Amino acid sequence: MPAGLAHISISGTLPHGNQGDLMKTSIPVQRDIVRLIDKGLSSRAIGRQLSISHNTVELLRTRLAATGLTQADLSVLDNEAFAIRLGTARNPNPSGKIVPDWDVVREELSQRDMTLSLIWEEYRQANHEHLADCLCYSQFQKRYKAWLKTQRISMRQFHKPGDQLFVDFCGRTMPITNPETGEEKPAQVFVGVLGGSSYTFAYAVPSQKIADWIACHVKAFEFFGGVPQQVVPDNLKSAVIKHTPQEIITNAAYADCAEHYDVLVNPARSRKPKDKSLAEVGVQIVQRWVLAPLRKRTFFSVEELNVEIAKRVELLNNKVSKKYKQSRTQRFIELDLPALRPLPLHPYESEAWKYKVRVAEDYHVEYEGSFYSVPYQYRMHQVDLRATRTTLEVLLNRTRIASHALLATPGRRTLEDHMPILHLRQTEQDPDSLLEWAEGIGPNVLAWVRGNLQQRRDFANGVKSARNLRRWAREEQAHDRLDGACAFALKIGVLTFNRLKSIITNRSDQRLPVEPTAWVQKHGNLRGAEYYAQQGGISC
């Protein structure tokens, strides 16, 4: 049994009669009594002058004489020392009850499954020989709570202008009615409060999902016309994935939004309501002054609700406070607005995210029915997918490891750099791979490769010519010569690699055409090709 529960008391007897009156007399009055006694006034005269009983004065005179002290000796003492020297200090336990060590009680309560009722029972057991002097349970509970209040030190929160924006969702939702079916769905109401001025923003969204959470921040920054140094959210999943004393893991999309606005995300600690006191107060005020007056209205869209919320928020911010004699708007203009950092040139564009996607054995990830490759070293890893209107990025621990153009229709996109050597060699035998490579070089290269694959009777040799061209182009790094050379080869009907290579090497495609001999004059002594053709050739 804890020792602090047994016989820890400040015993004393209840003062009687004039002694009790003396104990109740304030120290300043006792000092006046001593001063007047020193001047030689009688007890009755002092009593009349100070409007107290002459018996009280007489009792204090007796105690002063017993101490042998003078008024000069007592005047230099503080109030506590003065009362102790005269023996007039108030008994902190006038009832004479046994009082436990409250520090021990608090320590016991911190243990698992302990209750104040159980500790009271142990306190009575520890003092079973003096049960009459023990506190009853109601007094035990009352005194402990009174002592506990003296141990708590509340620090007033001071917020620098433009420093913190406290954000949270209201506990109260607003119903949105479907005009066709009459079905109601709850709209979530976001609240943002600036620390310096308590300037308040409210905005309704369909849900608390990450896309709506980010949209609320974008609207809030636009409403305030600037960006604070930090945002203080609660620990909802759209903001914080993990929050421990050792680390804070912020939602990746939320972190990207914060990075775009160059604002620090500083989540409130769990079970520490004072960290986000302004958010809680702001939520309460918005629920009372904005949402409650709209409770009987029927809204058919979130946009319609936001129009009314904006009107009510404006009235709230313009309302003059009794405490500060200024409205939130006035304080915002004077304090927060000059300290806010400017908005970026473009607002943050919300992106679609897909979290903790497992990379398959074939080093591809699936997104909306299509499959995209990642470097094969990351197969079986968990990655995040970030999709914009045109691209898909694959991120591992917020580091991009792959990027693809989004496919318009379900399909498969594999980059050669993502493939292991064995798979790459096997893929290079595929005609589709040859056509894809040729298309990336130029239209004439594509036509030449397609001609080898489709027009030549010996298909195997056609594939071989196309492979040889690709291998030679990679080795020689002569991609800029291929398209023009292939155009020339197609013009003269060349589909073999060796002859195409000769064209590229000799630059046949870049030679000027031979000018016709227009200067030769025709006459009867000149015989041309037509003459010899009619003769059927020349015999030797």
Rg value, the chain, Cα: 46
Residue 189 identity: V
DSSP at 268:
P
More confident residue, 530 or 136: 136
Residue 367 CA to residue 281 CA, distance in Å, equals: 42
Instruction: Give the Å distances, CA to CA, from 517 to 103, 512, 531.
Output: 119, 15, 18
Mean pLDDT within 35-45? 87
**Highest mean pLDDT range out of 49-53, 60-64, 303-307?**
303-307
pLDDT of residue 11: 35
Residue 536 CA to residue 526 CA, distance in Å, equals: 18
More confident residue, 511 or 402: 402
pLDDT exceeds 90 at position 221: yes
Q: Please, which pLDDT band fits residue 248 given cuts at 50, 70 and 90?
A: low
Chosen CATH of 164-339 out of 3.30.420.10, 3.40.50.300, 1.10.10.1150, 3.30.565.10: 3.30.420.10
Residue 270 CA to residue 235 CA, distance in Å, equals: 7
Phi then psi for residue 72, to 5 deg, are: -65, -35
Mean pLDDT within 43-63? 87
- Vertex 133, ends 131 and 137: CA angle to 5°? 75
Instruction: Give the Å distances, CA to CA, from 355 to 234, 347, 366, 521.
Output: 21, 24, 12, 83
Mean pLDDT within 30-50? 87
Strand, helix or coil for residue 537: coil
Q: Please, which pLDDT band fits residue 508 given cuts at 50, 70 and 90?
A: confident
Q: Please, which pLDDT band fits residue 87 given cuts at 50, 70 and 90?
A: confident
pLDDT of residue 91: 58
Token pair 């629920």 in the structure block, residue:
287
Residue 489 CA to residue 450 CA, distance in Å, equals: 13
Mean pLDDT within 263-292? 74
Instruction: Please say whether the beta carbons of 341 and 225 come within 8 A.
Output: no
As a residue count, the chain comes to: 540
pLDDT exceeds 60 at position 329: yes
More confident residue, 514 or 492: 492
Mean pLDDT within 95-115? 78
pLDDT of residue 16: 39
Mean pLDDT of the chain: 80
More confident residue, 190 or 68: 190
Mean pLDDT within 390-407? 88
Residue 255 CA to residue 204 CA, distance in Å, equals: 22
More confident residue, 154 or 144: 144
Phi then psi for residue 103, to 5 deg, are: -65, -40
pLDDT of residue 247: 56
Instruction: Give the Å distances, CA to CA, from 524 to 52, 490, 527, 531.
Output: 161, 40, 8, 12
Residue 214 CA to residue 251 CA, distance in Å, equals: 11
Instruction: Please say whether the beta carbons of 43 and 54 come within 8 A.
Output: yes
pLDDT exceeds 70 at position 242: no
Instruction: Please say whether the beta carbons of 285 and 312 come within 8 A.
Output: no
Residue 470 CA to residue 447 CA, distance in Å, equals: 14
Q: Give the DSSP H/E element, type plus range, for residue 193.
A: strand 184-194
**Highest mean pLDDT range out of 130-144, 300-314, 411-425, 482-496?**
300-314
Domain limits, the chain: 26-86, 164-339, 352-419, 428-510
Which own/partner contact pairs does 248-256 have at CB distance under 8 Å and 24+ positions apart? 251/210, 252/353, 252/355, 252/384, 252/386, 252/395, 252/398, 253/210, 253/211, 253/214, 253/350, 253/351, 253/353, 253/386, 254/210, 254/213, 254/214, 255/398, 256/348, 256/351, 256/386
Beta bridge partners of 402: 394
Instruction: Please say whether the beta carbons of 453 and 466 come within 8 A.
Output: yes
Tell me whether strands 230-232 and 240-243 are parallel, antiparallel or unpaired: unpaired
Question: What are 343-382's pLDDT values in tens digits?
Answer: 998 888 767 778 889 999 888 999 888 999 999 899 899 9
Token pair 């409060």 in the structure block, residue:
193
286 token code pair: 């918005």
pLDDT of residue 523: 62
Percent of the chain's residues with pLDDT above 90? 19
* Packing angle of the helix pair 137-151, 102-109 (nearest 10 deg): 90
Instruction: Please say whether the beta carbons of 409 and 379 come within 8 A.
Output: no
Least confident segment among 42-46, 105-109, 200-204: 105-109
More confident residue, 3 or 298: 298
pLDDT of residue 240: 65
